[in-house]
Structure 1
Amino acid sequence: MNSRSKWIQVEFIKGSRTFTNLCWACTLVCGSIGFFLVGFSSCVGKNMIPLFSSKQIAFLPQGLVMCFYGIAGLSLGFYLGCTIFWDVGGGYNYFDKQEGFSSIFRWGFPGKNRRIRIRLALKDVEAVGLKSQEGLFPSRILYLKVRGRRSIPLTRIGENLTLEDMEEKAAELARFLRVSIEGF
């Protein structure tokens, strides 16, 4: 959901709280539990999963490796679940022409720098840029070119918008800020 008026424009950025990430986390946790239970069953000698027999699996080395993969998968699933819960990368881009400032806000990992906020004057914005890389894994990033600073990305890294949509987004923001567009 984006909001726009004559003087203010707000664009909300979706973080890691997506349906795809949730599906991957659930799949990873379920598969990891299965691996761990089969490995542990081979150690104990008792079937922990009723449908699968672990009698043919020797604990050394197959059962031990399956336990390792189960623990590693659970760790990755827990990490992905935490990033979803904390909505890492989510936030907003706020542009206020009346006050003459811009605020870019993102959520990070818990700790001292959980809230990432960049506040800058609109008079320092030189251009709106679009960086596009085509190929097997295409990536398109919309960014602000600011005087005296590095370029500030405005879109998510994994955002899969077409080149036309990104160009339209860049043109709309450049018109709103009354700056040029670069990188085409």
Structure 2
Amino acid sequence: MNSQIESIRVDFITGSRRISNFCWALILLLGAVGFSFVGFSSYLRQDLISFLSSEKILFIPQGLIMCFYGIAGSFVSFYLWCTIGWNIGSGYNKFDKQKGTFSLFRWGFPGRNRRIFIQFFLRDIQALRMEVQEGFLPRRVLYIKIKGQRDVPLSHIEEYATLEEMETKAAELARFLKISIEGI
């Protein structure tokens, strides 16, 4: 490795294009379509899809509510598909020792502020902080502490599958930046 590569570290961040998001968007879409078909079938008093029976469902109030749930589920599914398509939250963390900068880049929602680019000086970095909450929904987030600023998250909540993986990543980054780790 040459000195230029040794002095730059880039960590790529996965955005919303995750398998779990694809699964949730698909499940929501299928559920919303099912609810809508049953609701409209109860209005027409005939089954539009044979395996989705609506013969015991009155349009008012059950069929109307099912149509509402179908429309609401469609909107939520559309939102998830848009975030997947735009890859919201993806980007990179770049640590450049030659320039003495830390750059954080993320893709946001379309519009004027779609590109989120923040730059800090490496000399202002105090430490890495690990936030770990175990339980049913574990939360493992890696933060960077900067003088006079709020802690900047370097990862998503569900990015690290295990605590060991998070500790390894934090140790590599702390070794590269020659800073300490807090919260272990």
TM-score (norm 2): 0.93
Return the offset for 1:118.
Answer: 1.1
Return the offset for 1:45.
Answer: 2.1
Return the offset for 1:19.
Answer: 1.3
Question: 1: CA distance between counterparts of 2:160 and 2:92?
Answer: 18
Matches within 5 A, 1:112-131: 112-131=112-131
Return the offset for 1:50.
Answer: 2.8
Return the offset for 1:56.
Answer: 2.1
Task: Calculate percent identity across the aligned residue pairs.
Answer: 56
Structure 2: where are the runs of 5+ without partners?
A: none
Question: 2: CA distance between counterparts of 1:124 and 1:95?
Answer: 13
Matched position secondary structure for 2:105:
strand
Question: 1: CA distance between counterparts of 2:16 and 2:35?
Answer: 26
1:75 alignment partner in structure 2? 75
Question: 2: CA distance between counterparts of 1:26 and 1:135?
Answer: 27
Bigger shift: residues 49-58 or 91-100: 49-58
Question: 2: CA distance between counterparts of 1:54 and 1:10?
Answer: 55
1:11 alignment partner in structure 2? 11
Question: 2: CA distance between counterparts of 1:183 and 1:126?
Answer: 13
Question: 2: CA distance between counterparts of 1:117 and 1:27?
Answer: 34
The 3 A distance-change label for structure 1 pair 98 and 34 is: same
- CA deviation vs aligned residue, 1:90-147 (integer Å, no higher than 9, x gap): 1100011011111011111112221111101111111111111122222111111111
Return the offset for 1:7.
Answer: 0.6
Matched position secondary structure for 1:5:
helix
Matched position secondary structure for 2:126:
strand
Matched position secondary structure for 2:6:
coil
Corresponding pairs, count: 181
Which amino acid in structure 2 is aligned with residue 69 of structure 1?
A: Y
User: Is 1:95 aligned with 2:98?
Assistant: no
Structure 1: where are the runs of 5+ without partners?
A: none
Matched position secondary structure for 2:92:
strand
Cα root mean square deviation, aligned: 1.4
Return the offset for 1:61.
Answer: 1.1
Matches within 5 A, 1:1-184: 5-184=5-184
Question: 1: CA distance between counterparts of 2:48 and 2:103?
Answer: 54
Question: 1: CA distance between counterparts of 2:71 and 2:155?
Answer: 34
Matched position secondary structure for 1:157:
coil
Question: 2: CA distance between counterparts of 1:52 and 1:110?
Answer: 38
Return the offset for 1:163.
Answer: 1.4
TM-score (norm 1): 0.93
